[in-house]
């Protein structure tokens, strides 16, 4: 809807701002879940524990998981603190869930 140069116009400044460029990259996809350690990150929302437990059971039926690391954030509204990320470092893949 910007006017063409032939029309008179007023010059406005955009109120929008670009987000900071992302620095994180996606991890390479695992070829199989057999022999891998599953991480479960409960975000502390009600029922997240149930949802994750069901997912864990279903995955364990289909794959020979090497183990599971289960951690729970204190609040869903903040990023996982360093201690929780450190605990998850032992996992090959991580599931997180909102159970609301």
Partner 1 sequence: MSVEGEIVAPLHPVAAIEYCYAQGWTDGLPVVPPTEERVAEMVAASGRLADEMVGIIPPRGGVATVEKIAINAVMAGCLPAYLPILLAGLEAMLDPAFNLHGVAASTKGSAPLLIVSGPLADALGFNSRDGVFGPGWRANATVGRAVRLILRNIGGALPGELDRGTLGHPGRYSYCIAENDADSPWEPLRVEQGYATEDTVVVAFGADAPHQILEHSRGAEQLLETMADSMAALGNYGLVTRPGEFVVVLCPEHAAIVAADGWSRADVKRFLHERARRPLHLLKARGHVEGAIAAGDESRLEPITTSPDDILLLVAGGAGRFSAHIPRWAGSGVHHSVIKPVGACAECAI
Interface residues with partner 1 (CB under 8 A) are 1-3, 5, 7-20, 46, 74-75, 77-78, 100
Q: Report the residue number, 62 or 78, with the smaller CB distance to partner 1.
A: 78
**In the complex, least distance from residue 65 CB atom to partner 1, rounded to whole angstroms:** 28
Cα angle at 61 between 67 and 59, to 5 degrees? Answer: 60
**How far is 65 from 45, CA to CA, in rounded Å?**
26
**In the complex, least distance from residue 93 CB atom to partner 1, rounded to whole angstroms:** 26
**In the complex, least distance from residue 15 CB atom to partner 1, rounded to whole angstroms:** 4
* Element housing 41 (H / E): strand 37-42
């Amino acid at each position: 809807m910007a006017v063409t140069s032939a029309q008179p116009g007023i010059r406005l400044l955009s109120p929008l701002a670009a987000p900071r460029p992302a620095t994180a990259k996606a991890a390479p996809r695992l070829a199989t879940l057999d022999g891998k350690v599953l991480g479960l990150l409960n975000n502390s929302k009600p029922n997240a524990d149930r949802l994750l437990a069901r997912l864990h059971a279903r995955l364990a039926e289909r794959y020979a998981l090497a183990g599971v690391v289960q951690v729970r954030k204190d609040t869903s509204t903040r990023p996982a603190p360093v201690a929780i990320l450190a605990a998850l470092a032992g996992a090959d893949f991580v599931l997180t869930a909102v159970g609301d």
